[in-house]
Amino acid sequence: MNRALKVQSESWPLRTVFNISRGAKRAADVIVVEITDGDVIGRGECVPYPRYGESQMQVIDDIRAISHEIESGLTRQDLQSLMPAGAARNAVDCALWQVEARKQNLSFSELFGLRKFDPVRTAQTISLDSPDNMARAARKIGAGLLKLKLGQDDVFESVRAVRDAAPQAKIIIDANEAWSMSQLLEVMPCLVEAKIELIEQPLPQDDDDELGDYKSPIPICADESCHSTENLDTLAKRYDAINIKLDKTGGLTEALKLRSSSESLGLDVMLGCMICTSLSIAPIFALTHGVKYIDIDGPLWLEADRSGGCVFDGIRMHPPSLMT
């Protein structure tokens, strides 16, 4: 098999600091995998996430550890059992998808029977900040779908400020595991009053069982708690929706299975991403049709994206050309 593997880290500065409950980011630190197979090249990008025990060097080492298998003709199906779900597998999986498309002389969308992928309406994220600054950001964005990053403090003030600033917007909130069950119950009346659409991962993953008997007036979405199809039956008893991210599922191959299994269990699906370039976003467009919530604004936080990246027209995210 005439294959070659290249793995490298890249850092893409952000246009402003991105804050969530567990820390701040000033750059998108990504790993890019490039697989050359004869006269075609496939690329995939991943974002190692310390929350899941991942680091840049560890992900690179994990990918290089299977270089022989990749260069010997590893298939996407073989990859699923060779590597666990996570960032490293994602980059390799997505590169293999592109190799597969180009070997058949197809665009990525044509591989899925589509002439092209449609643009989508994506949430625009407002990172954790003072209520006044979050309101200012909401006012600038206006109507549409907003996603608020919240911590333990100023929840009432932040939600009300954003709602007043963007009265026509649909709003999702994401606590990134920062709340306790008692805080969730305490803030719920305010969230109902503000007409919040969805609450994403309010409790730490280890506290999932506290949601078991709770009948929330607002749908609750699993993010950090849901990585793959494993334990999905249990999650369906606690959550109303799941957030699918390729860096959690370990690539598009598992993500397609997760979406199908989730929908069969009656769970709504949200598509998410890390702070990344459009190379990470490109494969997600294979999942977007019919999905209720789409949150793929990661490249909008960059000072500059890759050539051929996603185009945002103020309302919709247009698929990138870099995987055609």
Per the annotation, the verdict on 140 as an active-site residue is no
Fold of 3-108: Enolase-like; domain 1 (3.30.390)
Asked if 53 and 25 touch (Cβ cutoff 8 Å), the reply is no
DSSP per residue, 190-226: HHHHTTEEEEE--S-GGGGGGGTT---SS-EEESTT-
Q: Which CATH architecture has domain 120-318?
A: Alpha-Beta Barrel (3.20)
pLDDT (0 to 100) of residue 141: 94
Partners of residue 268 on adjacent β-strands:
241
* CA dist., res. 6 & res. 32, Å (int): 8
What are the structural domain ranges in the chain? 3-108, 120-318
pLDDT (0 to 100) of residue 139: 96
* Angle 145-268-142 from CA coordinates, rounded to 5°: 5
pLDDT (0 to 100) of residue 21: 87
Asked if 108 and 115 touch (Cβ cutoff 8 Å), the reply is no
Asked if 127 and 85 touch (Cβ cutoff 8 Å), the reply is no
The one-letter code for the residue type at 220 is: I
Residue of 25, 103, 195, 245 marked active site: 245
What is the block-wise mean pLDDT of the chain (324 residues), using blocks of 10 residues?
Answer: 92 96 93 97 97 96 98 96 97 98 94 93 96 97 94 97 97 97 98 98 97 96 96 95 98 98 97 98 96 96 97 93 80
Instruction: Label residue 104 exposed, middle or buried (CB < 10 Å: 0-12, 13-18, 19+).
Output: exposed
pTM of the entire predicted model: 0.96
Residue of 6, 103, 149, 215 marked active site: 149
Per the annotation, the verdict on 195 as an active-site residue is no
